[in-house]
Chains A and B, each alone.
Chain A
């Protein structure tokens, strides 16, 4: 079964600093990969996704992520963090789970705090 690991439960950065959130997945084939963001009290918003092709994908709000097959990773990056980026970030893998189902499996999330 597929799984997703986000090693960092909580990260604190200063506004303007660069950011990298780590994500590792376990799956036998190339999965579909996603990053979602959840602001306090809000639902989940899709930041970006990887299905195939170019391994560096661009998303909304200035985020990007790089798929590295050899490392089974899909790390999220942003060159300069804004205070409004403070939120919880979830990495997810959509992979075949039997029958006709493709299941979205989430990591446990990384909480980002941004200091002024």
Chain B
């Protein structure tokens, strides 16, 4: 089944403890992206990747890192999480940047 998977789905952590949210797609898509969703703000892009080893900042990149060493994986790294990073995170992929994006199930993060 074609899909985007994220792990973990739910995570509670404390301020400053490094964490990684994994994202994987099995559709051989070139383009991948991370979004955060906050009430009243909709979805905002954090980082995107046009292809392997090519990443760039979205609208709200502060406090996040990404890497794209393989086409299928695009992990989101929070080196030192803070409470304002409590949010619902979505990973998405598409064949290219200009086509339909397919979203993962989301990861709900709570930073205490």
Contact = CB atoms under 8 A, between A and B. Distances in A.
A116 to B, nearest CB: 26
A99 B56 contact: yes
Contacts of A32: 98
Interface stretch (A11-19, A63-71, A73-81, A104-112): A104-112
Contacts, number: 52
Interface of A: 9, 32, 34, 36, 42-46, 49, 90, 92, 94, 99-109
Most chain B beta-carbon contacts within 10 A, residue among A36, A42, A43, A107: A43
Interface string B84-104: 000000101000111011111
A103 B42 contact: no
Interface of B: 33, 35, 40-45, 48, 50, 56, 58, 90, 92, 96-98, 100-106
A107 B104 CA distance: 19
B33 A104 contact: yes
Nearest to B101: A104
A43 B48 contact: no
Closest 3 CB pairs of A and B: A102-B97, A108-B42, A44-B103
Nearest to A100: B50
30 contacts: A34-B100, A36-B103, A42-B105, A42-B106, A43-B103, A43-B104, A43-B105, A43-B106, A44-B103, A45-B103, A46-B100, A90-B42, A92-B43, A99-B56, A100-B50, A100-B97, A101-B50, A101-B56, A102-B96, A103-B45, A103-B48, A103-B97, A104-B45, A104-B101, A105-B45, A106-B42, A106-B44, A107-B42, A108-B40, A109-B42
